[in-house]
Amino acid sequence: MTRTLRLLAVTLYLSSNAFGGVGDVTLKTDHPLYAGEGAFQTPEECVRFAVKEKKEPQDKAIALYLWFLTHQWHLMSPMEWSVPGRIPDSKDAGDYETVVFDANRGRFSYGYGLCGTVHAWNEVYWKALEMPARRREFPQHVNSEIFYDNQWHAFDTDMAGLLFRRDGIVAGYNDLQLDPALADSVKSPLPHYPFAWPEDFNTMKAGWQEVSKRDSWYRLYNGGYAAHPGIVSLRAGESFTRWYDRDHFGGPEKRRFWQHQQGGPHRQWTYFDKENPYHEESSSNARGEATYCNGEFVYEPKLSSDACREGMSDISNNTGHQLHSPQLHSVNKQQATVTFQHFSPYVICGDPKDDANPMSASATNGLVIEGRLIGTVTCEASADQGQTWSSVDLSNGVDIRLMAAERNFAVDVTDVVKGRYGWRVRFSFRENSGLDSLKFTTTTQVSQAIYPRLTANGCDVDYRSTQRAVVAVLPNFGLSEAALSTIEESSMRSSNLSYRIKSTNDRLAYCATNTERCHVVFKVAAPTMLTEVRAAVRYQLPVPPTEGCEIRLAVSTDSGSTWSDFAVADIQADNEFSSGWLAGAADVTDAGVSKALVRVQMHTPGRPAALIDAQLYGIHQIPPAGPVSVEFGWRDGTELKTHTSKLAPKVISTRIHIPTATDVHDSYVRIRALN
């Protein structure tokens, strides 16, 4: 059976059955700092939360600066699988190509990074505040400059530092060059230079003194972007639990994370959990300890019902369901295939065997698959949306000759999917074989700053859901051109653009054969009607940019007959960054289609244009929510308290009151889509 027919089968089931899941579910508490994803789902929402009623540009900028200080912190940058053939490892500070520059991923999964990383993320938020932003070179450091009131101003959220002009305005590089004495700053209760911390005092003051001597510090634009949707959708029989305590799974030796650091990512010099960050002379409140949380998705599809198909990305038309064994089976005895999937804004992590390195070494308990099989069933797992597959051994180490016809299995697939945001797991069976039960347990890393924290003396929580889910299209540019055809609409590629397999020695995915305009087209297909298409691309640029450089994203919902631009790169003449990211989103609701095309158009006059990376997402419509339960667990003092609210089907928003007392310590929050 062709992939197209399989997708059609899934589409027909999803469109004709009101399954019991819940789409795009968020929670927002009344916590003054950490209200949860219901307040921080998008950069625009974060900016509104941070700025509140501020009116003046500098007041807005400082409010957002303080939000950064309490929601991000300094540590080795997170890294992921963006270079074919290269295993990410955050101990390798020089491996720039694998660093995470999507601010949405940073906000949901991490919250920490080195200076160049967090200041790249920050560009997204400054732009949401309608303030142009760029990174600036600094001695052994990277800074940010933002533009308001017709001037550039330096905001260093990595080292928690500001400099002020004598009129009280935040200084920029040009101000330091006009008045080098500003390196001594002025008195301010805000976190600012020079720090009382001796090492940083000397380093940063000396750095600013160097900045004052010349103007030729690199100006870097478009280093960060936001594309990955912050959307969690649950299927019937699936729960999503966030555990605030990283030791929930059994102490330091059982911690699960995605960072090469003993015991997991953590740091003590931060403004985390400080509602009013301050620094006056030798006094500051910068000793907040920041670390991470865990998320746990548990999905137990009901195989005897076709409702389990909402958890599938692919299914052959000879697959059937029945109440007796095997519940999931082949109706004609020929080979039947089903593929289950998971995707979220939280990175899959693992318990490293050495308690320090789940990245380039082995780890467990990131994805565990359990179930009961009948006869002979084969299993494969994919970490790249089905572009490549790894065989999964369901034998549990038992000699196949000794196996029972009916048996339980449990396999750990962490090393296949860790560091990713989703997986696909494919089962095949024929004759009288099949499956009676399945359980997928996926553990993720969660930024502490995105956890919906409770407040004392009663806490109000706003629950919200929409009929939205996400399909990811993340091309594996390490594959052959033929293999990539499932994602690229190669017939529409311009004749002067060549695909070249990306590798550790060649960062380019596509390169033009001349200096003329070129383009490549990617496919975004969803199982149901698309409502939005998002894309982000990383392009190569000459330094300085030649006049007429142009990078555009366009969408088509009529197979390429017409195109609409939805993002155009703002390429500044003084840019000194040899690559950049362009991201955007297009509303395609009115088209009423389940497939769209995204065109990347490039032109760098005087030099062949080149594409380094591309990430695409389709947000699609799913049926109204079924019944849902929301459970909070917390400790009042040392006593564990819980509160569960059960919501009727089709509830899209409601307020839940949690009866906390005076001494509140967050424990867990669980959302469950009930069968």
Give yes or no for a contact between 633 and 642, defined as CB atoms under 8 angstroms apart: yes
Are 60 and 191 in the same domain? yes
- What are the C-alpha distances in Å from 74 to residues 110, 146, 261, 385? 11, 20, 14, 32
Average pLDDT over residues 615-635: 97
Report d(CA 152, CA 131) in Å as an integer: 10
Q: DSSP labels for 324-392?
A: SSSSEEESSSS-EEEEEEEE-SS-B-BEETTSS-SSSS-EESSEEEEEEEES-EEEEEESSTTSS-EEE
Are 494 and 530 in the same domain? yes
Three-state SS string over 129-189 comes to CCCCEEEEEECCEEEEEEEECCEEEECECCCCECCECCCCCECCHHHHHHCHHHHHCCCCC
Query: Would residue 639 count as lying in a domain?
Result: no
In percent, the amount of the chain with pLDDT more than 70 equals: 95
Is pLDDT at 308 greater than 90 in this prediction?
yes
Terminal-residue alpha carbon distance, the chain: 30
Query: Would residue 547 count as lying in a domain?
Result: yes
Closest Cα to residue 189, out of 68, 72, 66?
66
Are 527 and 591 in the same domain? yes
Q: DSSP labels for 194-222?
A: SPSSHHHHHHHHHHHHHHTT-S---EE--
Are 600 and 562 in the same domain? yes
What's residue 400's pLDDT? 56
Are 225 and 336 in the same domain? no
What's residue 10's pLDDT? 40
Are 246 and 372 in the same domain? yes
Report d(CA 349, CA 357) in Å as an integer: 11
Say if strands 459-464 and 550-556 run parallel, antiparallel, or are unpaired: unpaired
Assign residue 526 the CATH number of its domain: 2.60.120.260
* Mean pLDDT score across all residues of the chain: 94
Locate 489 and state its tokens. Answer: 């609409």
Assign residue 331 the CATH number of its domain: 2.60.120
Locate 339 and state its tokens. Answer: 């593929």
Are 441 and 481 in the same domain? no
Locate 580 and state its tokens. Answer: 């950049």
Are 397 and 250 in the same domain? yes
Query: Would residue 184 count as lying in a domain?
Result: yes
Query: Would residue 321 count as lying in a domain?
Result: yes
Higher pLDDT, 2 or 232: 232
Are 448 and 323 in the same domain? yes
Query: Would residue 190 count as lying in a domain?
Result: yes
Is pLDDT at 13 greater than 70 in this prediction?
no
Higher pLDDT, 93 or 587: 587
What's residue 395's pLDDT? 87
Query: Would residue 286 count as lying in a domain?
Result: no
Is pLDDT at 593 greater than 70 in this prediction?
yes
pLDDT-derived band of residue 95, with 50, 70 and 90 as boundaries?
confident
Query: Would residue 530 count as lying in a domain?
Result: yes
Are 436 and 495 in the same domain? no
What's residue 279's pLDDT? 86
Task: Collapse the DSSP code of 572 into the 3-class scheme (helix H, G, I; strand E, B; otherwise coil) and give the result.
Answer: coil
Three-state SS string over 657-670 comes to EECCCCCEEEEEEE
Query: Would residue 424 count as lying in a domain?
Result: yes
What is the total count of domains within the chain?
A: 3
Is pLDDT at 363 greater than 90 in this prediction?
yes
Are 474 and 444 in the same domain? no
What's residue 18's pLDDT? 55
Beta-sheet strand order (sheet of 595-603): 518-525, 595-603, 550-556, 564-568
In percent, the amount of the chain with pLDDT more than 90 equals: 88
Neighbours of 606 (CB within 10 A): 11
pLDDT-derived band of residue 404, with 50, 70 and 90 as boundaries?
low
pLDDT in tens, 573-592: 999 999 999 999 999 999 99
pLDDT in tens, 188-223: 888 887 665 667 777 888 899 999 999 999 999 999
Are 85 and 194 in the same domain? yes
Task: Collapse the DSSP code of 594 into the 3-class scheme (helix H, G, I; strand E, B; otherwise coil) and give the result.
Answer: coil
Assign residue 136 the CATH number of its domain: 3.10.620
Give yes or no for a contact between 161 and 192, defined as CB atoms under 8 angstroms apart: yes
pLDDT-derived band of residue 405, with 50, 70 and 90 as boundaries?
confident
| Enclosing domain of residue 139 | 42-229
The CA-based angle 395-401-406, given to 5 degrees, is 60
Report d(CA 437, CA 305) in Å as an integer: 12
Neighbours of 239 (CB within 10 A): 17
What's residue 16's pLDDT? 38
Higher pLDDT, 186 or 258: 258
2: number of CA atoms within 13 Å, CB side? 4
Task: Mark residue 210 as left, alpha or beta (left: phi above 0; alpha: psi -120 to 50; beta: remaining).
Answer: alpha
pLDDT in tens, 407-424: 999 999 999 999 999 999
Task: Collapse the DSSP code of 97 into the 3-class scheme (helix H, G, I; strand E, B; otherwise coil) and give the result.
Answer: helix
